[in-house]
Structure 1
């Protein structure tokens, strides 16, 4: 299996002085990209496209994630913040457009159609979730499952590209890896007051908290001390840690269905890297076949 190097290849498309000087971009979805790259390389007929397909998916996902960072608040902002917002719009459009060029140059017109349809589905799901969140018609588990679905939908298109057992296992592996990724991010959000609003922890407290706590969370400005106290009171981090272990164990169970030792080994590394982002976690996939 060719070593994974998509993040390095993608740098020439994303590292521009103007962007780096005036705004920040979201991180590459490396876990999902590594899983995709590994599965494509495990199928002989797709090996020659593994780098191209993974690269274009990385750019499309980065484009969508960049647009998600755009602040839609219409109040007047300092010039530096306005420039940052404008660059996010332009960068997201640019990343999203490059996949057309790369695939058309390779004669992969059918893949352009598949990705375009997947992007439309992601946007539909995203709007539905945002509407439900604004209406407070979502609980913590709804939020988690729908966020996992949003993370995995673009990548799900490869269920129709892979063959045989790889196709059958793909959705399960992708879902479990995406869930690990989301839970790790939610743990990080629970530790950062400025990212608390509309997180899993937020919805959990809105569901389990007292009427007074829910009222305070509904206010426009939430005090960091209040957030820290609620995270501690409702045992948020331990609950999320348990979900992370459960998701990692799910990947381990699914990995047992694979026929490729190389693919199993790569899954081990991917999940270990996710778990190792959290200090004190023991890798869940430490077995060999």
Structure 2
């Protein structure tokens, strides 16, 4: 979904009680006119209609005659998947159908993967993603504390606080978390990927890691800028200690390597200690975790 439509969907979710004419004031990229709001909502409605016709949106969801608005049901559906706004395309979400003795049942693909204890960390790490990932980890812990969780990661990183909340929860729960990098584990995502259970950190052969120091900005009075700068330095030290513990590298080396963007391919990541194995098939992963 184009960024402008994704942004519109986000605003519609967050300000559902507001009249349509007021939504343009809340656009993060800048205010837009009422006609601009209507134009984007028409496009979103058309997407929802197309998805329903192709079976990717549940058939029991229907639009109102006014094609400028989402029904409450569609908003609930968007709510369910709003963690995908930003990093992953919110729409479309594939559905799978399973047959059982009780009949036919459809799942969105992410709920179906969760049944197999698979969690996807894809796209920018932010507070919405963090909340969803944490909820999934806690659910799987309550469901079976003895079975591993499989976390697939393809992320450029994002907010440190959101990432650290996921990191702490990975350590908080009873199950061991296997991490599998598919594509990219950069910045905060590199910390999560390297924090999987020892011996159970994997990456695919054409994936990459990128480690660097945290970035941030500050404005205001001099004392406020000094406080922000000290906090960033404190965060950098904390993240470097985690990477040093995860990799077995000396803290000083990690500190030096994260001074600037430091890219590593699969073999370099393995040598650095960010992962335990580079795998090409799921069977290889299963063999190494028996």
With the length of structure 2 as denominator, give the TM-score of the two structures.
0.29
Q: Specify which structure has the higher proportion of helix.
A: 1
